[in-house]
């Protein structure tokens, strides 16, 4: 039960909305992009400014309640049941400092807004494939983006972070003011407080040679193995991935894809188009294509490369970082996610290396940088129970377990490393020494584990 006097006092302090279960807009504000799971808080604070976040955290501390955070809902990995849900979608400001090549972004800013603001100055953020994703949450988890092999993780390009910690205090954290917390926030940020904004570096990119090539796997059955061979000798300026999906024969899919087992190869290259054409030529030589959109484009159109579905939907997923990926394994996982799979699966393989394999200039908590590929499997919950979907995903990952680079990656197009519930153990997200370091810091910053709803680093016992 919520204390009526405490709620009244909270409402007096908050400029935004304070909602309780049963209020008219409560359910709608709890909803996010992930529809299979949603937060079920006892109190929702729809923050209008950072001071509202301070009030929410202080209320939670006084009432001994956990705190969860949601901007767009793409990154929902652990749904809260009870406690305080802080909605940061209203903190959506974006300000670009073109001479400094930086942007200050609020916790609710979507990458689409950052891309547009930066493009006016010939600059770009290190965004992911879906411009509708919240920028801050994506970056806190690491951020594996369209330009990752050239410029590294998005978390590597953060200048400062504004956060409200468990003591209800606003802090601007930098490498100089608090190097340990600054290290942790870039890669494990949701564990340590509510981030209200950050300053990020932008990169001098205004156009791409990019798009996707779509193959019918009935005609190019070895496409995944061929793609892996193609990635063995590519310049860092080219970042790519391949996704495999057996499309059901349903009317809401495009006719060209309906009922086919298809591979989507996505390419983003910052070099000139003539060099890009030469690099992509071996892919085009693999066989006929259902479509081919790889061409020169302004960076503002980068969302078209993946064309991720904008509609909220229900899904589960997991991933594995790999040190190797051979042709036999490619054949096995192609079979596992093909038309014979009892549960629809989307297999996504991302080519790593390049700048991703080097330490950040200012070290952070993003680890496992020696991995060469990331294998992700998503299971749309279409006619499958969560347990069935989870089992199908684990079977796919199990085929590559022997090549694991030691963990999972927690920030992708849809957020957490194990979308849905239960979450994967924290020890899968970070290297052992880093996890110990994070645990020690958690004991200092959030000893009562107020932010247990966000990730799963726990204070020392």
Residue 143, token pair as written in the block: 């951020």
pLDDT, greater one: 188 or 73: 188
Q: How many CB atoms lie within 10 A of CB 461?
A: 5
The secondary structure of 53-103 as a DSSP string is: HHHHHHHHHHHT--EEEESSSTT--S--BSSEEEE-TT---EEEETTTTEE
Looking at the chain, the number of H-run helices and the number of E-run strands are 12, 17
Residue appearing with tokens 């468990």: 166
pLDDT digits (tens, 9 = 90+) for 4-38: 999 999 999 999 999 999 999 999 999 888 777 78
Residue appearing with tokens 């209800």: 168
Whether residue 414 is predicted with pLDDT greater than 50 in this model: the reply is: no
pLDDT, residue 336, reads: 97
Whether residue 413 is predicted with pLDDT greater than 90 in this model: the reply is: no
Q: How confident is the model at residue 421 (pLDDT cuts 50, 70, 90)?
A: very low
pLDDT digits (tens, 9 = 90+) for 273-312: 999 999 999 999 999 999 999 999 999 999 999 998 878 7
Q: Are strands 373-380 and 346-351 parallel, antiparallel or unpaired?
A: antiparallel
Average pLDDT across the chain, whole number: 92
Percent helix, strand and coil across the chain, each to the nearest 5:
30, 25, 45
**Virtual torsion, Cα 220, 225, 231, 232, nearest 10 deg:** -140
Residue 289, token pair as written in the block: 């294509």
Whether residue 372 is predicted with pLDDT greater than 70 in this model: the reply is: yes
How many percent of the chain have pLDDT more than 90?
Answer: 79
Strand partners, 170: 164
């Amino acid at each position: 039960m919520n204390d009526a006097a405490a709620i009244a006092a909270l409402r007096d302090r908050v400029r935004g909305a304070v909602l309780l279960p049963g209020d008219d807009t409560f359910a709608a504000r709890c909803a996010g992009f992930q529809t299979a799971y949603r937060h079920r808080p006892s109190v929702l604070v729809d923050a209008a400014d950072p001071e509202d976040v301070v009030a929410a955290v202080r209320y939670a501390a006084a009432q001994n309640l956990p705190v969860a955070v949601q901007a767009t809902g793409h990154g929902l990995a652990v749904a809260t049941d009870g406690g305080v849900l802080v909605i940061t979608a209203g903190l959506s400001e974006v300000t670009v400092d073109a001479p400094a090549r930086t942007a200050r972004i609020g916790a609710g800013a979507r990458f689409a807004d950052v891309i547009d603001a930066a493009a006016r100055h010939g600059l770009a953020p290190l965004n992911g494939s879906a411009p509708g994703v919240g920028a801050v949450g994506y970056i806190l988890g690491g951020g594996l983006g369209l330009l990752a092999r050239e410029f590294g993780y998005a978390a590597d390009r953060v200048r400062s972070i504004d956060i409200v910690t468990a003591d209800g205090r606003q802090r601007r954290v930098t490498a100089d003011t608090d190097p340990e917390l600054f290290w942790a926030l870039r890669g494990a940020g949701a564990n340590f407080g509510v981030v209200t904004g950050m300053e990020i570096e932008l990169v001098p990119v205004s156009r791409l040679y990019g798009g996707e090539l779509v193959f019918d796997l009935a005609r190019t059955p070895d496409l995944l193995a061929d793609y892996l061979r193609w990635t063995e000798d590519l310049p860092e300026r080219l970042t790519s991935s391949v996704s495999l999906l057996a499309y059901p024969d349903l009317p809401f899919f495009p006719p060209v894809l309906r009922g086919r087992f298809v591979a989507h190869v996505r390419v983003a290259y910052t070099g000139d188009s003539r060099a890009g054409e030469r690099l992509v030529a071996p892919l085009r030589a693999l066989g006929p294509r259902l479509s081919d959109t790889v061409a020169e484009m302004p960076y503002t159109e980068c969302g078209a490369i993946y064309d991720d579905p904008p509609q909220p939907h229900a899904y589960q997923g997991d991933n594995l970082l790999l040190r190797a990926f051979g042709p036999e394994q490619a054949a096995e996982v192609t079979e596992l996610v093909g038309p014979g799979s009892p549960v629809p699966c989307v297999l996504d393989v991302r080519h790593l290396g390049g700048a991703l394999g080097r330490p950040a200039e200012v070290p952070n908590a993003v680890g496992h940088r020696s991995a060469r590929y990331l294998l992700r499997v998503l299971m749309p919950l279409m006619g499958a129970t969560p347990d069935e979907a989870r089992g199908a995903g684990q079977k796919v990952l199990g085929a590559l377990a022997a090549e694991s680079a030691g963990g999972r990656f927690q920030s992708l197009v849809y957020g957490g490393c194990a979308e849905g519930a239960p979450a994967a153990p924290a020890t899968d997200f970070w290297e052992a020494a880093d996890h110990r370091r994070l645990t020690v810091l958690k004991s200092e910053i959030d000893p009562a584990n107020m932010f247990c709803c966000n990730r799963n680093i726990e204070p020392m016992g």
